[in-house]
Amino acid sequence: MVQASDFITIGRIGEGQFGQVDAVRCRLDNQIYAVKIIPKSTAARYNLNLPLERDIHRAGTRHAPPLFATFQTPSSLHMVIEYAACGSLWDRISLDSPTTAKLSEHEVCWWTDQMIAAIDWLHSLGYVHRDVKPQNFLLYPDFVLKLTDFGSVAPLLDKGIVDPSHCALPVGTPDYIAPEILRHAEEALLGSTPVPYTESIDWWSLGATVYELVVGRPPFYSSSITETYAQIFRINYRLPHTVSSELVDLFTTTLCPASARHRPSITPSKPPPTLPFIEPSPPDSLESDTFSFGDFFSTFSSSEPPLPCSHHVRWSDWSCTASRRDTSPPITPSRVVTAVPHSTRRRRPVSEAHAYQELLECVDHSARTNTSFSMRDLEQWWERDQESLQALYRRFASISESFHRR
């Protein structure tokens, strides 16, 4: 079994709602890997099904980065997976044109065909992703795309219905989340019996992702997540007039009510001429806003020191070493010369964790008022004291736990 001391951190690849991903060099074989790190406290509070995420990476084919090992420390869980030297689709659109931040239609069709195949593969395993977005599609030097970040997956029941026990909390990223997920969370918060949603939520998120690649921004983007929330429910977006009828068909069959939504198709085109290697950012160079989940949940944190790994019974079977696979030659980041520019034109000046907190507030507000949102609403919500925010989280956590006990 590997352990934390077997790895040297090279740089930060990304940060998400519940953890971070670092590029590391393994002392045992001198190869480069990506390590996803999730605090145990976060995993417990959100009932994250991390063993399921681990097992999906174990089943990784050409559609997902394979798992090499898992290990734990007293405070966190670690997954060692294949390193994607060319970054993600998000990096690609930022690198290709930091000003307009979009790709040619030929290239979009090349990636879209592979995105559809990757989502199909996951559905065939009996799971729905629930967080499809550009950041979760990894690119490789041979122009192959893979789906990653299975921390939000949920099992599928008959007819593609998502297991309701996994649906009490809203799951996903504001700009790409399907309206059914939000409505389900609202109904659960009110104590009613929510209408189940299906695997088609992934096709909605795919449509939003492809739209961003073509247009340069997500279809429901607003500087206010509150307004984005309202536009998602209204399905209020503009169809671009400069793209082919094939892509317009994809948007109209994915960014639509669930009853009319279905699996899209696309004719694959030619790959991009080149893909630059991406250099991981040194961890201490990352900018972060003043909010963090550590601040938000500070009163829930234990003042006691972390227990030894052996005492964490919940994660007793977490650590493993996968069988060696045939993979692409390792890429050494010292060969990488391209840094990822920040595309601030579309990105809100908040972390994913902060954006998720705003999403929870939108769900709560919409459930109670069932009215349209405005910037004035958001400003008023930010005036709530910390106790109110914690009470809101406890309500969501209680609902989630009750579903899991059923």
Which residues have a catalytic role annotated?
131
Q: Specify whether the backbone of 159 is left (phi greater than 0), alpha (psi in -120 to 50) or beta.
A: left
Q: What residues form DSSP beta bridges with 137?
A: 147
- Diameter of the chain by CA atoms? 60
Q: What distance, in Å, lies between the first and last C-alpha atoms of the chain?
A: 35
User: Comparing C-alpha atoms, which of 112, 92, 110, 111 is closest to residue 102?
Assistant: 92
Q: Where does 59-196 have alpha helices with state H? A: 89-96, 105-124, 179-190
**To 5 degrees, how large is the angle CA 358–CA 299–CA 380?**
30
Q: Which amino acid is it at 384?
A: R
Among candidates 331, 280, 279, which has minimal Cα distance to 13? 280
DSSP secondary structure code for residue 351 in this structure: -
Burial code of 239-251, b = ≥16 C-beta within 10 A, e = fewer? ebeebeeebeebb
Picking from 253, 173, 176, the residue whose alpha carbon sits closest to that of residue 213 is 176
Query: How far is C-alpha 88 from the chain's CA centre?
Result: 12
Which token pair is 18?
């519940």
